[in-house]
Chain A
Amino acid sequence: EDKVVQSPLSLVVHEGDTVTLNCSYEVTNFRSLLWYKQEKKAPTFLFMLTSSGIEKKSGRLSSILDKKELFSILNITATQTGDSAIYLCAARPGGGADGLTFGKGTHLIIQP
């Protein structure tokens, strides 16, 4: 059974800190890994990672995938209160299936 595990489940830091969120996966015919930010109801897309070792960056956020060790990290530098959200990691299988397997998320709280 496909599985995605995120850690930590929750994290409280102060504004300005740097955080690293972890995601490990076991997925049959793995194709790609996706990160989402969920503030209210609708998760918003952050990154899709397909190749190992290639960092993707968007402002203060960056992410990288390690396909040998089956994990990904999401880094947020110089955190702001607006970064407070649940960060979801999802793995996409290959073959004919297309449903993502999501982790339970990391609830990140940034204190002023």
Chain B
Amino acid sequence: GAGVSQSPSNKVTEKGKDVELRCDPISGHTALYWYRQSLGQGLEFLIYFQGNSAPDKSGLPSDRFSAERTGGSVSTLTIQRTQQEDSAVYLCASSLVWGGDGYTFGSGTRLTVV
């Protein structure tokens, strides 16, 4: 597609439920990144994919968080047993190659856990 597409744009969920966030990167971009932006905080790196593999999972905050990418394209970020502190905007970005200039970010998913 023309840009990085994320869905849903907003998600309200009850504490304890699982959620899936989707990211569709720019066509042909091999690198895909997930970040989280909490209120008043900078962007926090979560995970990075090169193709379908995730060489850097260092940013995932707990084992409730997981992500996968299939076909070198769409990625899903899954949060199990959501907690209120998971409330944030989850941003996805892609770049043509690993280490490429200036990722292109999607508009994000605003997750609210009530």
Q: Across the interface, do A34 and B102 meet the contact criterion of CB distance under 8 Å? A: yes
Chain A residue with minimal CB distance to B56?
A97
Which of B45, B48, B55 has most chain A Cβ within 10 Å? B45
Query: Is B65 part of the binding interface, using a Cβ–Cβ cutoff of 8 Å?
Result: no
Further pairs besides A4-B42, A41-B107, A43-B43: 16, Cβ < 8 Å: A34-B102, A41-B110, A42-B91, A42-B107, A45-B103, A45-B104, A48-B102, A97-B56, A98-B99, A99-B45, A99-B59, A101-B45, A102-B42, A102-B44, A104-B40, A104-B41
Q: Across the interface, do A98 and B40 meet the contact criterion of CB distance under 8 Å? A: no
- CB within 8 Å of B: which of A32-52? 34, 36, 40-46, 48
**Which residues from A are CB-within-8-Å of B106?**
42
| Chain A residues within 8 Å of chain B by Cβ, number | 26
Q: How far is the CA of A41 from the CA of B111 in the complex (A)?
A: 13
- Assess A102 versus B43: contact at CB under 8 Å? Given A43-B91, A43-B105, A45-B102: yes
Chain A residue with minimal CB distance to B95?
A98
Q: Across the interface, do B48 and A98 meet the contact criterion of CB distance under 8 Å? A: yes
Other-chain residue from B33, B40, B42, B101 in contact with A99 (beta carbon distance below 8 A): B33
Q: How far is the CA of A88 from the CA of B37 in the complex (A)?
A: 12
